[in-house]
Structure 1
Amino acid sequence: MALDFKTFEDAIAFADDIGGPRSVLLGNGFSQAYSDKFNYGRLRDVIPASSLNVDPVKLFDKASSSDFETVIKHLHNAASILQLYDNSNETLHSLLMQDADTVKQLLVDCLSEIHPESSFDIDPGRYESTKKFLAPFGEIFTLNYDLLLYWCSLQASIEPAIPKGDGFRSRDDTLKWETPSSLEGQQVFYLHGAMHFYQDEYDVNKLRHGGPGGKRILTQIRDNVQSGRYPLVVTEGSQADKEARIGNSPYLNYCHMRLSKLKGHLFIHGAALSENDQHILEKIASSEGLNYVYVGLFGAANDEHDKIQAAMQGLIRKQKETRRSATDDAELQVRYYPSETAYIWQEES
């Protein structure tokens, strides 16, 4: 398939000539550009096979979920029900509770394993190149839940400036998310949650950089899990699993609502747009003010390119159905650029 632009910069220039707001949707390719360690389909795939009393893959499959917290709840429930039916089987009860505690720790271990220990471990030049990529956009949506985008937003001394308003405000010495009073009140949206977010009863809180005692973010995440506070993350799973988790969170619901209010131009970078992302494409299709979508394709033509192109054709059809008047002039325009020409997480020369 022939690409419409030779470089990412050409695509930006094209959008500039037309005018209008620009947004970006980041997929796992954004994080993979930092390190191949981020090339994971599901966090559960990082679990060592010998870490549990049963095969981890079979355990997650039986739970019908890739969400660590869901698996932990299943193990706790199984242990409780077992006591009801056979209170004398202390060995099996102990194994279930032991694996529940292990899965809890594995969540932190798997998330932490793929990260640098601190934002300071990343060379400033790599932040600079990434901020240059993000700077043209007024809104940033991400499917990732790792810390890389957040760490990038903290680098205030490195030009250029990028959007960083994520809707969290300091209240009672805690960063709590509040529904913005205007669209301008939030410009960064973690569509699948983030490692440094956690649910506290009815609130979604964010861990503060250099939090209590000057602790690093990863240390705070580990402490939280040990205290029973799990990161608000939607790990890879079925579309139904993702939608159920999103539906139970006001924060995630709001982020997805905003994805349905796009205007002007949307760049999609590093996203596979698989069947599990249909809920994302449906929200984009609901954006009546969206006119152009630019999709980054990595490497030479391959089957993945064909799948992405098919997903985009489906997006065009869905938006036609959504719009009140779908004339030829109003049809969503899709353009493609080589994603490797967007120099993300690279040393600045």
Structure 2
Amino acid sequence: MHYDSFEEVMTALAKKKRKAHLLLGNGFSMAYDSSIFSYNALFDFVESLKDPLLADVLGAMKTKNFELMMEQLDAFSVLLDVLGGDQTLKAKVQIVHDGLRKSLIDAIKSLHPEHVFKVPDEKSASCAKFVNRFLETGGSIFTSNYDLLLYWVLMRQGIPSACDGFGRELLNPVEVENKTEEADWSVLRWGPNRSRQNVFYVHGSLPLFDTGTNVEKEQYDQEGYLLENISARINADDYPVFVTAGTGEEKLAQIRANPYLADSYDYLSSVDGSIVTFGFAFGDSDLHIVDALNRATHFPSKDVPKLWSIYIGVFSDADKARATALEKLMHAKVNTYDATTALIWG
């Protein structure tokens, strides 16, 4: 079934008294500014630098996972030392390592507004209102975007019901109890508010960093804006948790390798109600998302579907045709609506 407007979709879901979840794709960021947010923009930015050495290395590595690339370069450099390799070659490896790191930082800065307050207040408020309509139904927000837009909107507008699972933990509870020390709180870690989580970055996000023992979230502080803090961590060889381009299988492998991403994916695989999508293409590289939604349709048993229906925002006849083809893959009922009527950014 096709709905002529986003409001018709929300009205229909309200009548059914069903939870409405939101799945955002790259079209969410493109709707804000198509000139700076394009699909796989970070990797494309690095490729566009026309550095022949970087280009050759990127082509040889067969991966678009920046963190994995850096780890492979570091491991190769260590092996060169152990095996008595050519130090000239090691120097080239370091040049590539430093070049990729600088390129990633340059890309992040170039492909974002400078900070949250550069996003016009009316746009931020409009987006917050849109997102909150789903949270108010008891639904969740899922996004495959790793840029900062959604994080900025949630932070700036202060939606009380929005929770991404991160929080601070008291590091010295005994001393505080005994009144021998002031409270010492941890950095923002994923876990303390996991039970209330309703915002999921299913492909990671630039402010998220995996330390090996915790997944931490970078934030503003007195030292600098968020982009500056992210850049500082990358300069220290600490890389954000985000899934870059690749096949659905490659993306799922990256997801399963990280506890935060795996948990987010599993939550998507068990949603109850209906899902409304905006700007999500459901292309060949998104088959892992299709699989997650099909798992949700038959969760917890094949006899009791949990994900009842999907409402896909379409912008063109080509989008409608793709959604029609998608019906053959989806186990839940597939509907479409005119995405131009959503007016997320006002």
Query: What is the TM-score of this pair, normalised by structure 1?
Result: 0.85
- The change in CA–CA distance for 1:229 and 1:92 in structure 2 (over 3 A counts) is same
Amino acid at match of 1:338: D
CA distance in 2, matches of 1:147, 1:166: 14
Provide Cα deviations, 1:95-138, integer angstroms capped at 9, x if missing partner.
11111111112122212211001100111110122122212212
Superposed, 1:187-226 pairs within 5 Å as: 187-208=198-219, 210-211=220-221, 213-226=222-235
1:291 aligns with: 308
Equivalent pairs, count: 318
1:176 aligns with: 189
CA distance in 2, matches of 1:141, 1:266: 10
The share of aligned pairs that are identical, in percent, is 28
Provide Cα deviations, 1:200-237, integer angstroms capped at 9, x if missing partner.
121000012x22x3411000001001112111111111
Residues 194 and 233 of structure 1 are in contact (CA less than 8 Å); yes or no, is this contact kept in structure 2? Answer: yes
CA distance in 2, matches of 1:14, 1:343: 18
Provide Cα deviations, 1:262-293, integer angstroms capped at 9, x if missing partner.
11211011011112111111111111311121
2:256 aligns with: 247
Provide Cα deviations, 1:223-255, integer angstroms capped at 9, x if missing partner.
001112111111111223212211111111111
Q: Secondary structure at the match of 1:267?
A: strand
Amino acid at match of 2:2: D
Q: Secondary structure at the match of 1:33?
A: helix
2:134 pairs with 1:137: yes
Amino acid at match of 2:37: F
Query: What is the TM-score of this pair, normalised by structure 2?
Result: 0.86
CA distance in 2, matches of 1:31, 1:162: 23
2:163 aligns with: 165
1:280 aligns with: 289
Structure 2 runs not aligned, ≥5 long: 170-184, 297-304
2:40 aligns with: 41
Deviation at 1:85, TM superposition (A): 5.1
CA distance in 2, matches of 1:243, 1:290: 21
CA distance in 2, matches of 1:13, 1:31: 25
Work out which of the residue numbers 26, 29, 32 in structure 2 matches 1:31: 29
Provide Cα deviations, 1:320-341, integer angstroms capped at 9, x if missing partner.
xxxxxxxxxxxx3221101111
Q: Secondary structure at the match of 2:309?
A: strand
Residues 69 and 104 of structure 1 are in contact (CA less than 8 Å); yes or no, is this contact kept in structure 2? Answer: no
Alignment root-mean-square deviation, CA: 2.0
Structure 1 runs not aligned, ≥5 long: 317-331
1:329 aligns with: none
1:344 aligns with: 344
Amino acid at match of 1:345: W
